[in-house]
Structure 1
């Protein structure tokens, strides 16, 4: 028996599939497909807010340099504004790394619910529902490999 995927809720082997508290032998699954739920605009707004959080200090720093170059002030004042603007722009770098990591994790989770459905003799059954796009992809690919004709004998 070959194990294709296993976590606390899902087990996919070369002989059976256990998901959503139910177990099916592979020959029982006539057809398997997936559906995508509605997009979560809250997740998308969160990604946009993170992007703005990264960009705002850069814009403020660039604005400070622009003001320093265009204002009629002493060299010391102009230099102070330029250095302040550059330092503000550079201060974003460590924070941007943390925020970009959060954006990456947001894309791993996805912005919509994903479902795996199967057809058995009794009708259509929901095998799995998750918001985690990365986990969904791993499970669906494992299920495809388990159901490949070369594997099923």
Structure 2
């Protein structure tokens, strides 16, 4: 028996697909397809918030420099305001890596609900429902490989 995918709730082998304790033998599955749900506005708003958190200190620094030049104060005051603005802009550096990592994970997880369906014993059955696009892709490809491996190969022409 070959294992194509295995985690705590899903196991795909060369003989069956097991999801949340339910087992579907590959011999009884005739077709597999997927459906995408609507976009999650919560996920999109989270991405926007991360973008704003990245841009906020840079915008504040640019506004501080502009204000320092516009006020036309003494050189000491102008240098102090520009220096403080540059420090605010540099504050984004240490947190940028952290924020970019969260943004990257957000895109890997996706912004839609995904469903995997199969025709099992002649009727459609939803095998999987998740919002994690990366995990869904791994499971869907594992099921495809298992189904392809289980199909008989046609005889070769001589």
Q: TM-score range by the shorter chain?
A: over 0.9
- SS state of the match for residue 140, structure 1? helix
CA RMSD in angstroms comes to 1.3
Q: Distance in 1 between matches of 2:141 and 2:14?
A: 13
Whether the 8 Å CA contact 1:30–1:118 is kept in 2: the answer is yes
Give, in whole Å, the separation in 2 of the partners of 1:110 and 1:104.
10
Report what 2:32 is aligned to.
32
Deviation, structure 1 residue 121 = 2.4
Matched residue, 1:9: 9
Q: CA deviation at 1:81?
A: 1.2
Q: Which residue of 2 aligns with 1:92?
A: 92
Q: For residues 98 and 24 of structure 1, what CA distance do their matches in structure 2 show? A: 41
CA contact (8 A) 2:65 2:85 kept: yes
CA distance in 1, matches of 2:67, 2:55: 18
Matches for 1:1-153 after TM superposition, within 5 Å: 1-148=1-148, 150-153=149-152
Q: How far is the alpha carbon of 1:122 from its aligned partner?
A: 3.9
2:155 is matched with: none
- Please give the per-residue CA displacement for 1:11-36, whole angstroms capped at 9, x wherever unaligned: 11111111243212212111000001
Under a length normalisation based on structure 1, what TM-score does the superposition of the two structures give?
0.93
Q: Which runs of 5+ in 2 are unaligned?
A: 153-158
Gaps of at least 5 residues in structure 1 are none
What is the CA distance between 1:152 and its match in structure 2?
2.9
Give per-residue Cα distances to partners, 1:64-114, cap 9 Å, x unaligned: 111222321111011111111111100111112212211122222221111
Aligned residues of 1:61 and 1:88 also touching (Cα < 8 A): yes
3-state SS of paired residue (1:52): helix
Q: TM-score, normalised by structure 2?
A: 0.90
How far off is 1:46 after superposition? 1.1
